[in-house]
Amino acid sequence: MIPCERYTFFTLARDASFFLLGAVTLMVGFSFAPPLAFKIGASIALIFAVLMLLRSTLLTEERFRRSEVWRALEPDERPSGEHGLRAARDYMDEMMLRFAKSSSAIAGVLYGSALVLSLTATDPEIDGFVTASVASLQ
């Protein structure tokens, strides 16, 4: 793996891990209502997928030159010439689309899990919004 591809992968993996940390934190926070927790996780995964698609759409060669990946590379590690720059940008574009695809697949699994849990729940309030559940307790 060439350095540019390695930096691209690890930069996108870091971005995904920040979203994962937020999603897991919120899902644990709402673990008293599992269908709601899974819906929250799925929504965050879809937001990440949409952001990856948006970044991929807006990525130009000029924006790639200003990206963290390009700036982190030493000048001798950067792909040379116009063809090398285009190939590195295309690789970053492809990786963003792969991350978006994976994130949307995870969102589908989480939404499916939320549906199964809400269908098997015996308590009709379990799928309600949190404040509605708390208000009914008082």
C-beta of residue 26 within 8 angstroms of C-beta of residue 41: yes
Looking at residue 134, its pLDDT comes to: 54
User: What is the pTM (predicted TM-score) of this model?
Assistant: 0.83
Predicted confidence at residue 119, as pLDDT, reads 85
Q: What pLDDT shows up at residue 75?
A: 84
Cα-based distances in Å from 56 to 59, 89, 93, 97, 98 = 5, 10, 5, 7, 11
Q: What percent of the chain has pLDDT over 70?
A: 87
**Residue 133 predicted with pLDDT over 70:** no
* pLDDT tens per residue, range 40-51: 999 999 999 999
Model confidence at 137, in pLDDT bands (50, 70, 90)? low
- Establish how many alpha carbons lie within 13 A of residue 2's alpha carbon, considering only the half-sphere containing its beta carbon: 16
